[in-house]
Amino acid sequence: MTTVALLSALAAGCGGGSSSSESGVSCSVSQPGALQELEAQMGTALSQASSEVDFSFAVERRDGRRFTFNRGSSTLNTSYESKSASKLVSAVILMRLVEQGSLALLDRPQDRIVTWPIASDDPLSGMTLAHLLSLTSGLTRDHACLDDGGEDFEDCVLSIASANAGNGGNVPGQAFFYASSHLQVAGLMAVRARGLSWQAIFAEFKSQTGLFPASRYDSPSLSNPTLAGGMHFTGEDYMAFLKALKGGLLLNAASMGQLLADRTAAIPMDYSPILSGIGGGPGLGEDWHYGFGLWHECQSATFNCVAGTRVSSPGALGTYPFWDISKGYSGIVVRAGAFGTTNTGIEIERSVRAAMEAWAAC
């Protein structure tokens, strides 16, 4: 089944019947207490989950029923630093600009940025917006300007380009390399295409959708935000974003198909933090694939899963937004642990997944 067909089938909803899972609870529409029992199980598991910091958890079913858990002082209205959880948000904003005609997936940086410094005989001159959104552009060297709030956004992108120019045999579309540079270049392409700053583009997105009222791109600064990891948002704002995305309110079917396509199925994963870790933290040892700003999850050392069934955009501080398309639920773990604790957020969610899946199917 294609991604679009799968989404259409899910949109049709699910009927009655019963379900069971490793949670040990059988659930049917004739058992009103089953949902509450599953929610109690999730609450108990989350209260016992390993986390060095407070966190909040939320998950929502197809019918809009939501389960929420807060540990300590954390709530869904607490502002959290996104790290890579912003990648999916940035990708959706950029895909909307493609859908609206301001950009095209085959646009190259030099088509939009007149000062682009990579020469036409450099293999990197062939990178496109599609390569940038899928982190397969051939850019493998981030620049210190990404963490410098005093830098100019455009100057930083040009520094990224110069740092990667002549970088050996890196050919766009031939390998996946997890780095922030890709989306920063894509962001400047959007800035030039729209004639607006990124902040104005985000304000336009918020005005059009009503989303992220309490959120901002502000790290390392408002003038030089990192699109791949520089948001502050609340769990409530991100849950509303996920609901709008899965409800088809942000992208049309064709754009959604592009977003959810597996962009790394036939190329090597030269650097994946899910496989090998980030910031000194361990990886999961799992071979996830990548789409536009999102991971295709697979709990296996070799990718043997169906792409487009479960996607996510975890961040390095342990925030973990997830969307299980095949089972019809989406949710988030929001936390601010040490850099490199991506796995902690994922493991918090996995501690309740069996009960959550039964709850979602009930």
Residue whose entry in the numeric block shows the structure tokens 């501690």: 351
Q: What's the rounded mean pLDDT across residues 300-315?
A: 97
pLDDT in tens, 8-62: 433 333 333 333 334 444 555 446 689 999 999 999 999 999 999 999 999 999 9
Share of the chain above pLDDT 70, in %: 91
What pLDDT is attached to residue 27? 58
Q: What's the rounded mean pLDDT across residues 329-356?
A: 97
Distance CA 305, CA 320 (A): 20
pLDDT in tens, 259-268: 999 999 999 9
CA distances from 111 to 60, 123, 201 (A): 41, 16, 19
Share of the chain above pLDDT 90, in %: 88
What one-letter code names the amino acid at 328? G
Distance CA 115, CA 119 (A): 11
Side-chain half-sphere of 177: how many Cα atoms within 13 Å? 18
pLDDT in tens, 234-293: 999 999 999 999 999 999 999 999 999 999 999 999 999 999 988 777 899 999 999 999
Q: Are 231 and 216 in contact (CB under 8 A)?
A: yes
What pLDDT is attached to residue 152? 97
- Mind listing the domains of the chain with CATH numbers? 47-361 (3.40.710.10)
Question: Distance from first CA to last CA of the chain, Å, rounded?
Answer: 24
What one-letter code names the amino acid at 103? L
What pLDDT is attached to residue 280? 79
Closest residue by Cα to residue 336 from 309, 315, 322, 350? 315
pLDDT in tens, 58-70: 999 999 999 999 9
pLDDT in tens, 112-121: 999 999 999 9
pLDDT at 197 over 60: yes
What pLDDT is attached to residue 274? 97
SS3 string of the chain? CCHHHHHHHHHCCCCCCEECCCCCCCEECCCHHHHHHHHHHHHHHHHHCCCCCCEEEEEECCCCCEEEEECCCCCCCCEEECHHHHHHHHHHHHHHHHHCCCCCCCCCHHHHCCCCCCCCCCHHHHCCHHHHHCCCCCCCCCCHHHHCCCCCHHHHHHHHHHHHCCCCCCCCCCCEECCCHHHHHHHHHHHHHHCCCHHHHHHHHHHHHCCCCCCEECCCCCCCCCCCCCEEEEHHHHHHHHHHHHCCCCCCHHHHHHHHCCCCCCCCEEECHHHHCCCCCCCCCCCCEECCCCEECCCCCCCCCCCCCEEECCCCCCCEEEEECCCCEEEEEEECCCCCCHHHHHHHHHCCHHHHHHHHHC
pLDDT at 177 over 90: yes
What pLDDT is attached to residue 275? 95
What pLDDT is attached to residue 31? 63
Whole-model pTM?
0.92
Grade residue 169 by pLDDT with cuts at 50, 70 and 90.
confident
pLDDT in tens, 315-333: 999 999 999 999 999 999 9
b/e sequence 201-218, b meaning 16+ C-beta within 10 Å: bbeebbeebebbeebbbb
